[in-house]
Amino acid sequence: MRAPFDAAVDRHGPTVLRVCRAVLGPGPDADDAWSETFISALRAWPGLPEDTDVEAWLVRVAHRRAVDVVRRSARDAVPGGAADDIAVLDARAQRAGGTQVAESDDDVSDSHVWEVVAALPTRQRVCVAYRYLGGLRYAEIAELTGGTEAAARRAAADGIASLRRMITAGNSETGNTNDVAANEADLRARRSDD
């Protein structure tokens, strides 16, 4: 038997928020996407099959709501579709000057990590977020992004490699190399095999 909806919000809410923040950047747009995700989920909850992977389903809903938030804030209408979703997120990043980082956010323990994630190319950022924050399989990521499973795997791997390089470069400037090892160990611990 599936857990009550409020238990699903408690259990998966933080993951969905991390995904929204990774895709949209910390701030009100990510919070809006999070809220809209759970409003949509509440409407669909009674008809959701019992065997549904709730976390993966919520991450897919969050992806769609994040794209909706971007489209709503854009001046020009943008056509729909998985490949177009990446273009919408790319356009948003360009309008924001390449990064979308809040000046202060009490819920984010390391703003440097968010800055580095926001600096990734859109496809890499989205694939890293869905894989490592949302726990989606590469086939599910490919479906959401309109690419192939191999392309999703490559984008996530390239994104992680870029994150390692950028974080290592930032930490070597400050002399803090322990954070790099801890961050890499954390990423490895979160990753589950397909």
pLDDT digits (tens, 9 = 90+) for 59-69: 989 988 988 88
Is 70 exceeded by the pLDDT of residue 1? no
**For residue 122, is pLDDT > 90?**
no
Whether residue 161 has pLDDT greater than 50: yes
Q: What is the mean pLDDT of residues 115-128?
A: 86
- Is the pLDDT higher at 169 or at 47? 47
> Tell me, what's the pLDDT at 91?
55
- The structural domains of the chain, with segments of one domain joined by +, span 5-190
Q: What pLDDT is stored for residue 38 in this prediction? A: 96
Q: How far apart are CA 57 and CA 119, in angstroms?
A: 27
Q: DSSP alpha helices (H): ranges in the chain?
A: 5-24, 28-44, 54-73, 82-95, 111-119, 122-128, 138-145, 149-174, 178-190
Q: Is the dihedral of CA 30, 31, 32, 33 positive or negative?
A: positive
The model's pTM is 0.57
CA–CA distance, 64 with 54 (Å, rounded to integer): 15
Task: Kindly indicate the confidence band of residue 84, based on its pLDDT and cuts at 50, 70 and 90.
Answer: low
- Which of 14-23, 38-47, 77-86, 155-164 has the least mean pLDDT? 77-86
